[in-house]
Protein backbone atom coordinates (compact mmCIF):
# COMPACT_ATOMS: atom_id res chain seq x y z
CA UNK A 1 0.00 0.00 0.00
CA UNK A 2 1.25 3.46 -0.79
CA UNK A 3 1.98 5.96 1.95
CA UNK A 4 -0.75 7.94 3.65
CA UNK A 5 -1.81 10.80 1.38
CA UNK A 6 -2.10 13.63 3.90
CA UNK A 7 -2.83 16.49 1.51
CA UNK A 8 -5.40 14.40 -0.34
CA UNK A 9 -7.14 13.68 2.97
CA UNK A 10 -7.18 17.37 3.84
CA UNK A 11 -8.60 18.39 0.46
CA UNK A 12 -11.24 15.66 0.52
CA UNK A 13 -12.63 16.56 3.93
CA UNK A 14 -12.55 20.25 3.14
CA UNK A 15 -14.66 19.46 0.08
CA UNK A 16 -17.24 17.23 1.79
CA UNK A 17 -17.60 19.13 5.08
CA UNK A 18 -20.98 20.46 3.97
CA UNK A 19 -22.49 17.00 3.50
CA UNK A 20 -20.65 15.11 6.25
CA UNK A 21 -23.28 15.75 8.92
CA UNK A 22 -26.06 14.87 6.49
CA UNK A 23 -24.43 11.48 5.94
CA UNK A 24 -24.23 10.73 9.67
CA UNK A 25 -27.70 12.05 10.41
CA UNK A 26 -29.36 9.47 8.20
CA UNK A 27 -30.47 6.19 9.82
CA UNK A 28 -27.52 4.08 8.64
CA UNK A 29 -24.90 6.70 9.40
CA UNK A 30 -26.47 7.50 12.78
CA UNK A 31 -26.56 3.83 13.75
CA UNK A 32 -22.92 3.38 12.79
CA UNK A 33 -21.64 6.50 14.54
CA UNK A 34 -23.71 5.85 17.67
CA UNK A 35 -22.33 2.32 17.88
CA UNK A 36 -18.68 3.33 17.78
CA UNK A 37 -19.05 6.51 19.83
CA UNK A 38 -20.81 4.62 22.62
CA UNK A 39 -17.88 2.24 22.96
CA UNK A 40 -15.38 5.11 23.02
CA UNK A 41 -17.48 7.13 25.48
CA UNK A 42 -17.85 4.26 27.93
CA UNK A 43 -14.06 4.11 28.40
CA UNK A 44 -13.63 7.81 29.19
CA UNK A 45 -14.06 9.68 32.49
CA UNK A 46 -17.33 11.55 32.82
CA UNK A 47 -17.18 15.30 33.32
CA UNK A 48 -13.51 15.63 32.39
CA UNK A 49 -11.64 17.73 29.84
CA UNK A 50 -11.41 15.86 26.54
CA UNK A 51 -9.20 16.19 23.48
CA UNK A 52 -10.79 14.67 20.36
CA UNK A 53 -8.17 14.00 17.68
CA UNK A 54 -9.62 14.11 14.18
CA UNK A 55 -12.79 15.72 15.51
CA UNK A 56 -14.43 16.33 12.12
CA UNK A 57 -17.59 18.36 12.51
CA UNK A 58 -17.71 17.85 16.27
CA UNK A 59 -20.08 14.89 16.42
CA UNK A 60 -18.25 13.18 19.29
CA UNK A 61 -17.37 16.44 21.04
CA UNK A 62 -21.08 17.26 21.11
CA UNK A 63 -21.89 13.90 22.71
CA UNK A 64 -19.18 14.28 25.35
CA UNK A 65 -20.25 17.81 26.28
CA UNK A 66 -23.88 16.71 26.61
CA UNK A 67 -22.72 14.20 29.23
CA UNK A 68 -21.26 16.99 31.34
CA UNK A 69 -17.67 17.28 30.14
CA UNK A 70 -15.73 19.95 28.30
CA UNK A 71 -13.90 19.27 25.05
CA UNK A 72 -11.33 20.52 22.59
CA UNK A 73 -11.21 19.24 19.00
CA UNK A 74 -8.36 19.15 16.51
CA UNK A 75 -8.63 18.27 12.83
CA UNK A 76 -6.64 18.49 9.62
CA UNK A 77 -9.57 20.05 7.68
CA UNK A 78 -10.28 23.76 8.04
CA UNK A 79 -13.83 23.39 6.72
CA UNK A 80 -14.64 20.57 9.14
CA UNK A 81 -13.42 22.80 11.96
CA UNK A 82 -15.75 25.57 10.79
CA UNK A 83 -18.70 23.16 10.94
CA UNK A 84 -17.64 21.94 14.39
CA UNK A 85 -17.58 25.49 15.76
CA UNK A 86 -21.17 25.97 14.60
CA UNK A 87 -22.28 22.64 16.09
CA UNK A 88 -20.48 23.17 19.42
CA UNK A 89 -20.10 26.93 19.95
CA UNK A 90 -18.99 26.48 23.56
CA UNK A 91 -16.02 24.25 22.67
CA UNK A 92 -12.59 25.06 21.30
CA UNK A 93 -11.51 23.71 17.90
CA UNK A 94 -8.15 24.11 16.25
CA UNK A 95 -6.46 23.10 13.02
CA UNK A 96 -3.67 20.54 13.33
CA UNK A 97 -2.63 16.90 13.39
CA UNK A 98 -2.26 14.31 16.12
CA UNK A 99 1.48 13.91 15.73
CA UNK A 100 2.21 17.49 16.82
CA UNK A 101 -0.41 18.60 19.31
CA UNK A 102 -0.33 22.33 20.16
CA UNK A 103 -1.10 21.79 23.84
CA UNK A 104 0.90 21.78 27.06
CA UNK A 105 1.84 18.65 28.97
CA UNK A 106 -0.80 17.21 31.32
CA UNK A 107 -3.63 19.29 29.81
CA UNK A 108 -6.45 16.75 29.45
CA UNK A 109 -8.28 14.10 31.44
CA UNK A 110 -9.14 12.13 28.31
CA UNK A 111 -8.22 11.70 24.65
CA UNK A 112 -10.51 10.22 22.01
CA UNK A 113 -10.19 9.47 18.31
CA UNK A 114 -12.80 7.94 16.04
CA UNK A 115 -12.00 6.51 12.59
CA UNK A 116 -8.76 8.47 12.24
CA UNK A 117 -5.98 6.07 13.22
CA UNK A 118 -5.77 4.42 9.78
CA UNK A 119 -5.05 7.82 8.20
CA UNK A 120 -2.05 8.59 10.39
CA UNK A 121 1.33 8.75 8.71
CA UNK A 122 3.05 8.16 12.07
CA UNK A 123 0.61 6.54 14.54
CA UNK A 124 3.31 6.08 17.17
CA UNK A 125 3.95 9.84 17.18
CA UNK A 126 0.24 10.45 17.74
CA UNK A 127 0.19 8.08 20.72
CA UNK A 128 3.34 9.66 22.15
CA UNK A 129 1.68 13.08 21.88
CA UNK A 130 -1.56 11.83 23.42
CA UNK A 131 0.45 10.46 26.36
CA UNK A 132 2.22 13.80 26.76
CA UNK A 133 -0.93 15.93 26.91
CA UNK A 134 -2.83 13.54 29.19
CA UNK A 135 -2.79 14.14 32.93
CA UNK A 136 -1.47 11.26 35.08
CA UNK A 137 -4.25 8.71 35.35
CA UNK A 138 -5.94 10.08 32.21
CA UNK A 139 -7.62 7.78 29.69
CA UNK A 140 -7.42 7.36 25.92
CA UNK A 141 -9.99 5.56 23.78
CA UNK A 142 -9.89 5.12 20.01
CA UNK A 143 -11.95 3.29 17.40
CA UNK A 144 -10.62 2.58 13.93
CA UNK A 145 -10.57 -0.01 11.18
CA UNK A 146 -8.68 -3.12 12.21
CA UNK A 147 -6.66 -5.63 10.21
CA UNK A 148 -9.07 -8.48 9.55
CA UNK A 149 -10.37 -10.48 6.60
CA UNK A 150 -12.99 -7.88 5.76
CA UNK A 151 -10.61 -4.92 5.68
CA UNK A 152 -8.02 -6.68 3.53
CA UNK A 153 -10.01 -5.83 0.42
CA UNK A 154 -10.94 -2.27 1.34
CA UNK A 155 -7.98 -0.52 -0.37
CA UNK A 156 -8.92 -2.16 -3.68
CA UNK A 157 -12.59 -1.25 -3.21
CA UNK A 158 -11.66 2.37 -2.52
CA UNK A 159 -9.38 2.51 -5.55
CA UNK A 160 -12.16 1.16 -7.77
CA UNK A 161 -14.74 3.53 -6.24
CA UNK A 162 -12.53 6.47 -7.15
CA UNK A 163 -12.13 5.31 -10.72
CA UNK A 164 -15.89 4.95 -11.21
CA UNK A 165 -16.52 8.13 -9.21
CA UNK A 166 -18.66 6.73 -6.40
CA UNK A 167 -20.02 9.66 -4.40
CA UNK A 168 -19.37 8.68 -0.77
CA UNK A 169 -17.86 10.61 2.13
CA UNK A 170 -15.18 8.02 2.98
CA UNK A 171 -14.71 5.78 -0.06
CA UNK A 172 -11.43 7.30 -1.24
CA UNK A 173 -7.95 5.91 -1.76
CA UNK A 174 -5.97 7.55 1.05
CA UNK A 175 -3.32 4.85 1.47
CA UNK A 176 -4.79 3.80 4.81
CA UNK A 177 -3.04 1.33 7.11
CA UNK A 178 -4.75 -1.24 9.33
CA UNK A 179 -3.43 -2.82 12.53
CA UNK A 180 -4.17 -6.03 14.40
CA UNK A 181 -4.51 -6.54 18.15
CA UNK A 182 -0.85 -7.30 18.79
CA UNK A 183 0.26 -4.21 16.88
CA UNK A 184 -2.15 -2.04 18.85
CA UNK A 185 -0.99 -3.43 22.19
CA UNK A 186 2.63 -2.84 21.23
CA UNK A 187 2.16 0.74 20.00
CA UNK A 188 0.18 1.78 23.07
CA UNK A 189 2.64 0.09 25.41
CA UNK A 190 5.59 1.72 23.63
CA UNK A 191 3.95 5.10 24.21
CA UNK A 192 3.83 4.34 27.96
CA UNK A 193 0.16 3.46 28.45
CA UNK A 194 -1.05 0.78 30.85
CA UNK A 195 -4.32 -1.14 31.38
CA UNK A 196 -4.56 -1.54 27.61
CA UNK A 197 -7.72 -3.22 26.33
CA UNK A 198 -8.42 -4.16 22.69
CA UNK A 199 -11.81 -5.26 21.42
CA UNK A 200 -13.71 -5.58 18.14
CA UNK A 201 -16.92 -3.85 17.10
CA UNK A 202 -19.68 -5.69 15.31
CA UNK A 203 -19.51 -6.36 11.59
CA UNK A 204 -23.21 -5.50 11.32
CA UNK A 205 -22.69 -1.80 11.99
CA UNK A 206 -20.79 -1.11 8.79
CA UNK A 207 -22.17 2.00 7.11
CA UNK A 208 -23.14 0.52 3.76
CA UNK A 209 -26.07 0.81 1.40
CA UNK A 210 -29.27 -1.18 1.53
CA UNK A 211 -30.03 -4.03 1.19
CA UNK A 212 -26.58 -4.97 2.52
CA UNK A 213 -27.01 -2.91 5.69
CA UNK A 214 -30.31 -4.59 6.63
CA UNK A 215 -28.87 -8.01 5.85
CA UNK A 216 -25.78 -7.33 7.98
CA UNK A 217 -27.92 -6.30 10.95
CA UNK A 218 -29.86 -9.56 10.77
CA UNK A 219 -26.61 -11.52 10.57
CA UNK A 220 -25.04 -9.72 13.54
CA UNK A 221 -25.47 -12.45 16.20
CA UNK A 222 -24.07 -15.10 13.87
CA UNK A 223 -21.13 -12.91 12.82
CA UNK A 224 -20.15 -12.15 16.42
CA UNK A 225 -20.29 -15.81 17.53
CA UNK A 226 -19.11 -17.74 14.51
CA UNK A 227 -17.07 -15.49 12.17
CA UNK A 228 -15.16 -13.01 14.38
CA UNK A 229 -12.42 -12.69 11.74
CA UNK A 230 -14.82 -10.47 9.77
CA UNK A 231 -14.89 -7.83 12.52
CA UNK A 232 -14.55 -4.40 11.00
CA UNK A 233 -13.61 -1.89 13.72
CA UNK A 234 -10.96 -2.28 16.40
CA UNK A 235 -11.34 -0.36 19.67
CA UNK A 236 -8.50 0.33 22.08
CA UNK A 237 -8.77 1.76 25.58
CA UNK A 238 -5.79 2.58 27.79
CA UNK A 239 -4.66 4.78 30.67
CA UNK A 240 -1.66 6.91 31.51
CA UNK A 241 -0.08 5.68 34.76
CA UNK A 242 -0.09 7.84 37.85
CA UNK A 243 3.29 9.41 38.59
> What is the rounded distance in angstroms from the CA atom of residue 62 to the CA atom of residue 179?
28
Question: With a cut of 70, which residues of the chain have pLDDT below it?
Answer: 1-3, 27-28, 150-174, 202-231
Q: How much is the pLDDT for 229?
A: 59
Q: How much is the pLDDT for 216?
A: 63
| Cα distances (angstroms) measured from residue 93 to each of 54, 57, 98, 201, 231 | 10, 10, 13, 28, 32
Q: How much is the pLDDT for 213?
A: 61
| Cα distances (angstroms) measured from residue 81 to each of 72, 73, 86, 94, 151 | 11, 8, 9, 7, 29
Name the pTM for this structure.
0.86
CA 221 to chain centroid: 24
Q: How much is the pLDDT for 4?
A: 72
User: Which H or E run contains 235?
Assistant: strand 233-239
Q: How much is the pLDDT for 94?
A: 98
Q: How much is the pLDDT for 20?
A: 85
Rounded-to-10 torsion of CA 120, 95, 159, 33 = 80
53 strand-pairing partners: 74
Q: How much is the pLDDT for 141?
A: 98
Q: How much is the pLDDT for 1?
A: 33
Amino acid sequence: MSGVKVEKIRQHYDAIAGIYDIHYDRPRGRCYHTHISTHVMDALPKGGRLLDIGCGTGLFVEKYVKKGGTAVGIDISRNMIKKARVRCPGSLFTLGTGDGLPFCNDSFDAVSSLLVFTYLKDPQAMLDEAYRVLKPGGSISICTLGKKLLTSGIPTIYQISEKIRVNHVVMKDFGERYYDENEMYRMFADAGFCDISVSWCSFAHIDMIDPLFSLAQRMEPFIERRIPQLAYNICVDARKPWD
